[in-house]
């Protein structure tokens, strides 16, 4: 938060980080914490809109979700969940270290948190890349690449299905060439070895599969942007920690970045089962 | 983890609450166990609870995990109650938004279907496949 | 509570009078940078005021162009495409740049900390950042005009907004996103300030009602605006990348977009009107020289309006394909908002009853507010009724209704507030006679502009139409003439307010006899407002204020003030 910088403090004042319009460090800290919680409330409502879109499509078209979720890797999702949970733990430990004035532990914990965040984004990148290659994208860009996927051609053959034709435009007097027809059987998607999810969706005649990927990319994309922002903030905090700015007397930025990071984790805690663990 | 362990602000440490590493580590362990459980339940069928039976199980577990993060990692358990009010209000308003919108969207699906049935060639292009 | 007897008022006023000639927030620092990068809430408030009035000028020019085009059926001065652009830009600029930030960001920023007895808002840098975001949002909106403009209406309904060829849609949406965060940060700052920076003695029930209104507004800003943020983000992605969540051609649901949009935009009308009601509560009491009637009712009705406002958004969607079930529920819930609104109006009337009313300019505009808001509010009941709504939906009746509430309500209350706090902000008095004249022009012009629109709408004149049958010509012409008269009134206000800056009489600390804390510091206030926070008492106790003709303002009499009295 902008107020966390120790400017404005008059020289020789008993509490160097106290700004002139606060009467005590406790009042200042509590104000910043309340401000941060209000900001986090706005973050939750920002994601709330996307959760609403998810709920509406999931409730009205469960078949889309049951069909399409097999293209997400449960294993990678679970690993990413664990990574974020660990990063939340290291972040909370960083706050504790700052409160105890343990500068070295603080730096280690912040660095570990950053490493976890980078790991999360790395796995996310692998997932996105496969979706991209297989054309499992949102609305307008949804073009399943049946032959391109390593597992799918083999799989379709195995089940005696002919590969579906390329997307065609619908008949009609209006130009609907921008409407895409999803394939009967999509590509195998990104499955880690050992995943036992069925290779073919139980309901082959599923329409508007692109909606699932639209919701998936909107939710995880906005979340990834927040992870990225969190990493920038963590980098800034680590840099200041390296300069020795934080101690038991002043650790507000560490605590605030921590709260933000935990909310990023909190949102993923819901995203993981809602997107990856559809039964 | 005993709730009396974390300290309140004192003269030496004027602000904030100190949640010791032991409590944080126990929280992490609980979170990882819950993550395992939420994955494990998808190995079994929950169709007795309806088509979307597993979503409720998943949401309950996710909420438990979120509560652990908020209470211990985010210090909400030791913090001013008003901060919890802020968080809960945000969740309530998200629920309000989702609930009313969902109630509406479910109710007008038949209208959409009726409209598409009038002239599928024209109004339901996604059904027109070779 | 400990009874503290204080003699602060006289000493403070004396200090204030002495300080008037000395250092104040305007003379504290010099140069353009001392303004653009200030963290003083008063300077930020003044910058907001100037910027918002500039945006009002721009939006007003579009309004006059629209009204002039409608002078005759068919083409009058512009093409149909340009007409669509003009009403869209008029709406978007007035809503996002003027009315939503208007009272909280400009007047609220200036007076909130002073009324509270604080030295600044809790987060001064965040406050400056939110102003810079406002400027960025405004620049994006202006950029949209350059890059091909928008013709979607301010509501950006899909699928039209995702398919229209106008190149300004994305910049305007980005602008709305940025402005949303500007609004969120202002609200966040206000909530934290009111919670944490109240000086000892300033209890919740000694807060002036304007602060209760700003608090309720801030709650909406926090809880509703993020949903607008995600809505416009999705719409940008929809338009640029074809996301498909809202586009029917891609399997998406356009009614879902309307739910998203109105979940913010309905509560947003309370972001607009609640601070206006707060200003009215202050002015009615001061200019009736009478304690506000029903302090607690007015305070809690602000909170009630803020909360009820979240349960009624679907009444904008009665004919959009929303299901009958939800439509009925929203129609019923809509009536709940009228209860706290009526509570406020009756309390204002009861405050005036038996008071010694002085018809100075701020009070005249306040009376205009109550009259116009009465009409605007009651016609809202027509629109909330299902059957009537189907007939009146998207007609000029709706246009007239929301102009009666947004313009006649919010904007006129803002003008009242500007006149009320002008001496405090600038240290100068404006010409009272010209003020009353401007009131006559604005009040008559407003009703002449918008009342005929109720009649046109009930006869079926649809909104946003470029052309119309000849039977509506006379009423359209009345409306256009009214808008010109209103323009004269606004120009007059600009002239005498600017003139007062250079030639106005110096303002005393308390020209109107207000009892809230901002009248206890000098006009203009010193840079840090108060050295010591003044002890807070009942903000509507005028008993000890006496008019001193020597200084042209009010001072406290000799009786000491019991600082523990709360409003009753």
The Cα C440–Cα A190 span in angstroms is: 71
pLDDT one-digit tens code per residue, C333-364: 999 999 999 999 999 999 999 999 999 999 99
pLDDT one-digit tens code per residue, C425-484: 999 999 999 999 999 999 999 999 999 999 999 999 999 999 999 999 999 999 999 999
Q: Which of chain B's residues have a Cβ under 8 Å away from the Cβ of C329?
A: 100
Please answer yes or no on whether C253 and B93 come within 8 Å at the CB atom: no
Q: A116: Cβ–Cβ under 8 A, 6 or more apart, which residues?
A: A83, A84, A86, A87, A90
pLDDT at residue A125 is higher than 70: yes
Residue B130 included in any domain: no
Q: Are C116 and C211 in contact (CB under 8 A)?
A: yes
Residue A273 included in any domain: yes
More confident call, C164 vs A120: A120
pLDDT at C544: 86
Residue A33 included in any domain: yes
Please answer yes or no on whether A42 and C226 come within 8 Å at the CB atom: yes
pLDDT exceeding 90 applies to what percent of chain A? 54
pLDDT at A207: 80
pLDDT one-digit tens code per residue, A187-237: 444 444 444 444 444 445 678 888 999 999 999 999 999 999 999 999 999
pLDDT at residue C116 is higher than 50: yes
pLDDT (average), residues A94-109: 95
Q: Which of chain B's residues have a Cβ under 8 Å away from the Cβ of C323?
A: 104, 107-108, 111
Q: Lowest-confidence range among A116-120, A267-271, B82-86, C245-249?
A: C245-249
pLDDT one-digit tens code per residue, C194-241: 999 999 899 999 999 999 999 999 999 999 999 999 999 999 999 999
The Cα A196–Cα A182 span in angstroms is: 24
Token pair of A260 as six digits:
């933000």
Residue B124 included in any domain: no
Q: Is B12 exposed, middle or buried (0-12, 13-18, 19+ CB in 10 A)?
A: exposed
Q: How confident is the model at residue B112 (pLDDT cuts 50, 70, 90)?
A: confident
B84 in the same domain as B63: no
B104 in the same domain as B91: yes
The Cα C133–Cα C177 span in angstroms is: 10
| Structural domain count of chain A | 1
Of B89, B93, B107, the CB nearest to C325: B107
B73 in the same domain as B25: yes
Residue pointed to by tokens 């039977």:
C471
Q: Which of chain C's residues have a Cβ under 8 Å away from the Cβ of B125?
A: 249
pLDDT one-digit tens code per residue, C11-41: 444 444 444 456 889 988 888 999 999 999 9
Average pLDDT, chain B: 82
β-pairing verdict for C545-548 and C553-556: antiparallel
Please answer yes or no on whether B104 and C310 come within 8 Å at the CB atom: no
Q: Lowest-confidence range among A4-13, B18-27, B75-84, C305-314?
A: A4-13
Q: Which of chain B's residues have a Cβ under 8 Å away from the Cβ of C310?
A: 93, 96
State how far the alpha carbon of A75 is from the alpha carbons of A126, A143, A188, A191, in Å.
Answer: 13, 25, 15, 8
Residue A117 included in any domain: yes
Residue A69 included in any domain: no
The Cα C134–Cα C131 span in angstroms is: 5
pLDDT at residue C278 is higher than 90: yes
Q: Is C99 exposed, middle or buried (0-12, 13-18, 19+ CB in 10 A)?
A: buried
Q: What domain range is A245 assigned to?
A: 25-53+76-123+214-279
B100 in the same domain as B66: no
Residue A250 included in any domain: yes
More confident call, C401 vs C153: C401
pLDDT at A154: 32
Please answer yes or no on whether A93 and B24 come within 8 Å at the CB atom: yes
Residue B125 included in any domain: no
Mark residue C499 as left, alpha or beta (left: phi above 0; alpha: psi -120 to 50; beta: remaining). Answer: alpha
DSSP character for C519?
Answer: G
B88 in the same domain as B75: no
pTM of the predicted protein model: 0.89
β-pairing verdict for C5-6 and C561-562: antiparallel
> What residues of chain B, 64 to 93, have a C-beta less than 8 Å from chain A?
65-66, 69-70, 72-74, 79-80, 82-83, 86-87, 89-91, 93
A52 touches B at CB < 8 Å: yes
B72 in the same domain as B25: yes
Nearest CA to C385 among C341, C333, C344? C333
C225 touches A at CB < 8 Å: yes
The Cα C320–Cα C159 span in angstroms is: 13
B59 touches A at CB < 8 Å: yes
pLDDT at A84: 97
Q: How many residues does chain A have?
A: 279
Residues C158, C161, C162, C165, CA torsion sign = positive
| Helix residue ranges per DSSP H, B1-126 | 21-40, 53-68, 81-118, 120-123
The Cα C35–Cα C49 span in angstroms is: 13
B57 in the same domain as B15: yes
pLDDT at B46: 64
Q: What domain range is B95 assigned to?
A: 80-118
Please answer yes or no on whether B100 and C314 come within 8 Å at the CB atom: yes
pLDDT exceeding 70 applies to what percent of chain C? 94
pLDDT at C427: 94
pLDDT at residue A183 is higher than 50: no
pLDDT at C93: 94
A20 touches C at CB < 8 Å: yes
The Cα A200–Cα A189 span in angstroms is: 11
Q: Are A91 and A62 in contact (CB under 8 A)?
A: no
Of C196, C229, C251, the CB nearest to A208: C251
Q: How confident is the model at residue B14 (pLDDT cuts 50, 70, 90)?
A: low
Q: How confident is the model at residue A147 (pLDDT cuts 50, 70, 90)?
A: very low
The Cα A237–Cα A226 span in angstroms is: 16
More confident call, B7 vs C442: C442
Q: Is C88 exposed, middle or buried (0-12, 13-18, 19+ CB in 10 A)?
A: buried
pLDDT at A206: 78
pLDDT at residue A173 is higher than 70: no
pLDDT one-digit tens code per residue, C400-418: 999 999 999 999 999 999 9
The Cα A105–Cα A97 span in angstroms is: 6
C114 touches A at CB < 8 Å: no
pLDDT at residue C110 is higher than 90: yes
Q: Are A44 and C194 in contact (CB under 8 A)?
A: no
CATH number (domain holding residue A221): 1.20.120.80
Residue A8 included in any domain: no
B86 in the same domain as B23: no
pLDDT one-digit tens code per residue, C479-522: 999 999 999 999 999 999 999 999 999 999 999 999 999 999 89
Q: Lowest-confidence range among C36-45, C124-133, C442-451, C520-529?
A: C520-529
Interface A-C: count of C-beta contacts within 8 A = 139
Of A38, A49, A210, the CB nearest to C192: A38
pLDDT at C530: 87
A169 touches C at CB < 8 Å: no
pLDDT at A112: 97
Of C227, C321, C329, the CB nearest to B111: C321
B47 in the same domain as B8: yes
Highest mean pLDDT among A57-66, A148-157, A230-239, B45-54: A230-239
B38 in the same domain as B3: yes
pLDDT at residue C568 is higher than 50: yes
More confident call, C329 vs B123: C329
B52 in the same domain as B95: no
pLDDT at C75: 94
B23 touches A at CB < 8 Å: no
Q: How confident is the model at residue A142 (pLDDT cuts 50, 70, 90)?
A: confident
A82 touches C at CB < 8 Å: no
Token pair of C178 as six digits:
């940025």
Token pair of C144 as six digits:
């949209």
Q: Are C305 and C341 in contact (CB under 8 A)?
A: yes
Rounded (10°) CA dihedral C546, C550, C551, C557: -20
Please answer yes or no on whether B107 and C326 come within 8 Å at the CB atom: yes
C195 touches B at CB < 8 Å: yes
Residue B18 included in any domain: yes
Please answer yes or no on whether A60 and B106 come within 8 Å at the CB atom: yes
Please answer yes or no on whether C230 and A46 come within 8 Å at the CB atom: yes
pLDDT at C434: 97
The Cα C440–Cα C434 span in angstroms is: 10
Q: Are B126 and A207 in contact (CB under 8 A)?
A: yes
| Structural domain count of chain B | 2
Residue pointed to by tokens 């945000």:
B90
pLDDT at A135: 85
The Cα C332–Cα C265 span in angstroms is: 19
The Cα C62–Cα C145 span in angstroms is: 12
pLDDT exceeding 70 applies to what percent of chain B? 76
pLDDT at B47: 63
Q: ω before C524 within 30° of 0 (cis)?
A: yes
B110 in the same domain as B60: no
pLDDT (average), residues B100-124: 85
Nearest CA to C541 among C516, C519, C524? C516
Please answer yes or no on whether C325 and B105 come within 8 Å at the CB atom: no
State how far the alpha carbon of A157 is from the alpha carbons of A22, A152, A161, A165, in Å.
Answer: 72, 8, 6, 15
Nearest CA to B62 among C224, A51, A115, A211? A51
Determine the residue of chain C that is closest to A174 in CA distance.
C249
Determine the residue of chain A that is closest to C226 in CA distance.
A46
Angle between helices C41-69 and C473-503 (to 10 degrees): 150
Q: What is the largest CA-CA distance in chain B?
A: 77
Q: How many residues does chain B have?
A: 130
Average pLDDT, chain C: 91
Please answer yes or no on whether B19 and A29 come within 8 Å at the CB atom: no
Q: How confident is the model at residue A159 (pLDDT cuts 50, 70, 90)?
A: very low
pLDDT one-digit tens code per residue, A38-52: 999 999 999 999 999
Strand ranges (E), C193-288? none
The Cα A220–Cα A47 span in angstroms is: 10
pLDDT (average), residues B25-49: 86
Distance from CA of B82 to the nearest CA of A (A): 8
């Amino acid at each position: 938060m902008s107020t966390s910088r120790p400017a404005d403090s008059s020289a020789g004042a008993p509490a160097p980080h106290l700004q002139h319009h606060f009467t005590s460090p406790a009042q200042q800290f509590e104000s910043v914490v309340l401000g941060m919680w209000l900001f986090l409330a706005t973050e939750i409502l920002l994601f709330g809109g996307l959760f609403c879109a998810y709920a509406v499509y999931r409730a009205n078209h469960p078949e889309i979700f049951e069909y399409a979720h097999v293209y997400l890797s449960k294993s990678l999702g679970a690993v990413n969940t664990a990574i974020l949970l660990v990063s939340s733990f290291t972040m909370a430990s960083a706050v504790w270290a700052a409160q105890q004035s343990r500068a070295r532990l603080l730096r280690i914990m912040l660095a570990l948190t950053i490493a976890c965040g980078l790991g999360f984004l790395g796995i996310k990148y692998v997932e996105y890349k496969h979706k991209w290659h297989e054309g499992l994208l949102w609305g307008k860009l949804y073009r399943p690449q049946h032959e391109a996927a390593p597992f799918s051609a083999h799989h379709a053959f195995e089940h005696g299905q002919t590969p579906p034709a390329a997307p065609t435009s619908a008949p009609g007097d209006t130009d609907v060439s921008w409407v895409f027809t999803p394939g009967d059987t999509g590509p195998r998607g990104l499955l880690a070895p050992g995943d036992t999810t069925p290779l073919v969706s139980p309901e082959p005649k599923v329409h508007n599969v692109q909606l699932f990927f639209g919701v998936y990319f909107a939710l995880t994309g906005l979340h990834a942007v927040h992870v990225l922002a969190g990493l920038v903030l963590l980098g800034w905090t680590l840099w200041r920690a390296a300069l020795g700015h934080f101690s038991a007397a002043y650790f507000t930025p560490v605590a605030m970045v921590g709260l933000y990071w935990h909310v990023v984790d909190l949102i993923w805690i819901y995203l993981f089962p809602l997107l990856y663990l559809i039964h | 983890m005993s709730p009396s362990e974390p300290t309140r602000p004192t003269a030496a440490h004027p602000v904030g609450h100190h949640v010791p590493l032991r409590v944080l580590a126990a929280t992490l362990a609980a979170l990882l166990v819950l993550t395992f459980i939420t994955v494990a339940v998808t190995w079994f069928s929950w169709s007795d609870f309806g088509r979307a039976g597993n979503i409720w199980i998943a949401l309950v577990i996710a909420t438990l995990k979120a509560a652990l993060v908020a209470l211990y990692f985010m210090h909400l358990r030791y913090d001013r109650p008003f901060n919890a009010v802020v968080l809960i209000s945000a969740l309530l308003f998200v629920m309000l938004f989702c609930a009313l919108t969902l109630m509406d969207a479910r109710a007008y699906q038949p209208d959409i279907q009726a409209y598409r049935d009038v002239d599928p060639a024209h109004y339901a292009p996604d059904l027109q496949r070779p | 509570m400990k009874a503290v007897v204080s003699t602060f008022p006289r000493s403070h006023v004396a200090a204030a009078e002495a300080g008037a000639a000395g250092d104040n927030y305007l003379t504290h620092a010099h140069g353009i940078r001392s303004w653009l990068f200030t963290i003083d809430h008063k300077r930020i408030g003044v910058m907001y005021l100037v910027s918002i009035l500039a945006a009002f000028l721009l939006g007003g020019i579009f309004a006059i162009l629209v009204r002039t085009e409608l002078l005759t059926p068919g083409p009058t001065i512009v093409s149909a495409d340009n007409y669509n652009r003009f009403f869209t830009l008029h709406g978007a600029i007035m809503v996002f740049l003027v009315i939503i930030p208007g009272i909280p960001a400009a007047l609220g920023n200036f007076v909130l900390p002073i009324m509270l007895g604080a030295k600044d808002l809790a987060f001064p840098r965040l406050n400056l950042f939110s102003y810079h975001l406002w400027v960025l949002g405004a620049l994006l909106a202006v950029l949209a005009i350059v890059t091909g403009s928008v013709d979607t209406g301010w509501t950006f309904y899909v699928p039209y907004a995702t398919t229209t060829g106008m190149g300004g849609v994305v910049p305007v949406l980005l602008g709305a996103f940025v402005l949303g965060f500007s609004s969120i940060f202002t609200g966040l700052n206000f909530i934290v300030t009111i919670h944490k920076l109240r000086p000892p003695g300033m209890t919740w029930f000694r807060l002036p009602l304007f602060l209760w209104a700003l608090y309720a507004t801030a709650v909406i800003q926090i809880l509703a605006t993020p949903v607008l943020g995600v809505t416009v983000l999705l719409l940008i992605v929809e338009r640029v990348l074809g996301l498909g969540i809202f586009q029917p051609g891609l399997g998406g649901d356009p009614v879902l977009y309307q739910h998203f949009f109105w979940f913010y935009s309905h509560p947003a009308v309370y972001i607009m009107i609640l601070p206006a009601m707060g200003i009215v509560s202050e002015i009615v009491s001061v200019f009736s020289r009478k304690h506000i009637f029903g302090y607690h009712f007015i305070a809690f009705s602000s909170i009630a309006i803020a909360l009820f406002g979240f349960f009624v958004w679907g009444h904008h969607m009665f004919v959009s394909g929303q299901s009958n079930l939800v439509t009925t529920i929203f129609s019923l819930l809509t009536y709940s908002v009228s209860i706290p609104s009526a509570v406020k109006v009756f309390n204002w009337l009861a405050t005036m009853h038996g008071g010694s009313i002085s018809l100075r300019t701020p009070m005249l505009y306040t009376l205009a507010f109550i009259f116009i808001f009465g009409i605007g509010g009651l016609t809202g009941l027509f629109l909330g009724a299902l059957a009537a709504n189907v007939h009146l939906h998207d007609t000029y009746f709706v246009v007239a209704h929301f102009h009666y509430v947004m313009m006649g309500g919010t904007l006129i209350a803002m003008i009242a507030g500007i006149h009320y706090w002008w001496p405090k902000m600038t240290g100068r008095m404006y010409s009272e006679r010209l003020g009353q004249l401007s009131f006559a022009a604005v009040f008559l012009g407003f009703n002449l502009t918008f009342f005929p629109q109720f009649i046109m709408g009930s006869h079926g004149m649809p909104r946003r139409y470029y052309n119309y049958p000849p039977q509506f010509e006379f009423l359209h012409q009345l409306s256009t003439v009214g808008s010109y008269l209103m323009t004269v009134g606004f120009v007059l206000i600009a002239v005498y307010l600017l003139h007062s800056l250079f030639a106005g009489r110096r303002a005393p600390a308390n020209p109107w006899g207000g009892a809230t804390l901002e009248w206890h510091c000098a006009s203009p206030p010193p840079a840090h407002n108060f050295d010591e926070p003044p002890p807070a008492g009942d903000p509507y106790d005028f008993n000890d204020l006496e008019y001193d003709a020597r200084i042209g303002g009010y001072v406290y009499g000799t009786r000491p003030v019991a600082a523990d009295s709360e409003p009753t």
